[in-house]
Amino acid sequence: MYAAFEVGAGEAGAALDAMRVLGLGGLSITMPHKEDVARLVDELDPAAAVLRSVNTVVPLGDGRLRGYSTDGAGFVASLLAADVDVTGKSVCVLGAGGAARAIVDAVSRAGAKSITIVNRSTRRAEEAAALVGIGVVGEPDDIAESDIVINATSIGMGTHEMPCDATVLRREQVIADIVYHPRHTALLGAARNIGAKTVEGLGMLVHQAVLQQRLWTGTSPDAAVLWAAAERELATRGQ
């Protein structure tokens, strides 16, 4: 059974104690608790340790808990499912928040040649770039020079806003968006209009969930089944 529990800000420690007491098989963590949980669990996987953020908690036995971050790896898996391999590619990440940092870490681990971070706040971009040895801070004009462009901001969530100027996109690029509400964002529409390959944000949601289930149960659910369930839920929201 997979159930949602509402946990107030600052109460992550109590939620982890409840997990131990009740013998829960795992927890999925959302904001604003990801950083708090990273501090409170007993162990961290390498990605979670670098990001100082946890979205998945797994019991190890004897009351010990291990924290993982599956967002970045889920995003890379969504690219692979769309026949996009980041190995040897130049990647431009738009944004420098939690999702962007997870993606920067994951595409670096997956073998990207270079990662350029474009963000309104230079300081945040510098912090994201410093996570990996191949990260640099870029400007909007750098978007056109990348093989893969990833919108890792919330721009376009429920709106028709664009995270960048459509004129910098090229037909030869892969354009990915982590926004999945709406599924067909303005960015992806602009990319399709010029014939560029696109990857929608629903894939990241689905594939990070596949990784979570594998950590909790030792088996991987069929991504197509999770995708269909996500589509049904989005359809109820008019997406």
Distance between CA atoms of residues 25 and 65, nearest Å: 11
Token pair belonging to 106: 């994951």
User: Are 110 and 87 spatial neighbours (Cβ–Cβ below 8 Å)?
Assistant: yes
Coil vs helix vs strand at 212: helix
Angle between helices 202-217 and 71-81 (to 10 degrees): 120
Active-site option among 34, 89, 113, 197: 34
Burial label, 181 (beta-carbon count in 10 A; 0-12, 13-18, 19+): middle
* Alpha-carbon Rg for the chain in angstroms: 18
Residues 213 and 235: their CA atoms lie apart, in Å, by 24
- Looking up tokens 């801070």 gives 137
Q: Does the annotation mark 89 as catalytic?
A: no
Alpha helices (runs of H) in the chain, residue ranges in sequence order: 12-22, 34-40, 46-51, 71-81, 98-109, 122-129, 186-193, 202-217, 223-236
Catalytic residue ranges? 34
